[in-house]
Amino acid sequence: MSAGQFVSNEQRLSEQLERRVPALEVINLSLEGSGTDQQLLLYENVGLHYEHDFVVLMPFLSNLRRNMVAVRWAFDAKTGSKVLRGKPRFELQNGRLELRNVPVPKEYLAPVSGDDPTDTPDTLIARWKANLSGLPGVSLLKKLAYFLVPWEPFPEYREPESPEWQLMEAISRRFKQSAGDRPIIVVPTFYDNYIRYRMSRQYLKRFRTLEQIAGIHVIDLLPHFQKLGVEALRCFQAPHDVHFSTYGHLVVADALEVELKRLGILPLVTSKTSS
């Protein structure tokens, strides 16, 4: 989201925040399609070489699944064909993060026998659900159903003992250890269904527990979108893409300015590293 897919760099939330706040320098280390595990490696191997005062970490909600896998579906830039692309990953062993799949193999064979090791399964059921969601009237039915029972697309957030959350929590703790005395501001990001429908908020409950760690702060973006009413849908590129639109990046930049001032962080610094 913060990498700004299909949005020009000058319109990303990082550059917009720079223009809004005098003397603020933002170093955007975001990587499209990555997990929080890869963002941790980026911060430790690249970000720490820059002088900076605090870190903004924006985990997409599905990152707790991306962190668990060693490959993801992608499209080859030259041929346009669908390929499996490897990634480094961490395993939690006796409370310690152990790096795996490094060096990352250059090629992967397609899964066999219906087995799909990625966080974005390319299955018949997944394609059927996507097609069903586009049918006339389905959106209204979802709105009615989710009003009664909020939809939880990521049940891994329900329990703090889930392996996915345990790994996400360990990665977040490692972020703070690497940052030292610098504050970490965690900003969970979501897609447009969280604006369209009544969705479960278990993810925020889980991320809020990170505030028990000194120096970690969690920002809730959803109220900043909801106050826009129906205009909030313009913040996303749906139905063509799930990422923030140019307008969405402006809204997030505004939210970050407000929340960082509320936390007393923004006036105290002159630069920032964003992962």
Domains located in the chain, CATH noted: 9-69+150-274 (3.40.50.1110)
Which pair of tokens denotes residue 211?
Answer: 């505030």
Taking CA atoms, 55 is separated from 10, 13, 61, 118, 258, in Å, by 20, 14, 18, 28, 16
DSSP type of residue 189:
B
pLDDT digits (tens, 9 = 90+) for 7-35: 999 999 999 999 999 899 999 999 988 99
The residue-averaged pLDDT of 201-207 equals 97
- Looking at every residue in the chain, the average pLDDT score rounds to 89
Place of tokens 């039915």: 141
What is the reported pLDDT for 170?
98
The residue-averaged pLDDT of 50-65 equals 96
Rounded to 5 degrees, φ, ψ at 21 are -115, 115
The residue-averaged pLDDT of 81-95 equals 91
- Nearest CA among 206, 124, 204 for reference residue 159: 206
In angstroms, the CA 184 to CA 173 distance is: 10
Q: Are 36 and 66 in contact (CB under 8 A)?
A: yes
User: First vs last Cα of the chain: how many Å apart?
Assistant: 11
Q: Report helix, strand or coil for 163.
A: helix
pTM for the model: 0.88
Q: Report helix, strand or coil for 78.
A: coil
Q: Are 168 and 67 in contact (CB under 8 A)?
A: yes
In angstroms, the CA 34 to CA 12 distance is: 17
pLDDT digits (tens, 9 = 90+) for 116-165: 666 766 555 555 556 656 666 677 787 778 878 899 999 999 999 999 99
The residue-averaged pLDDT of 45-73 equals 95
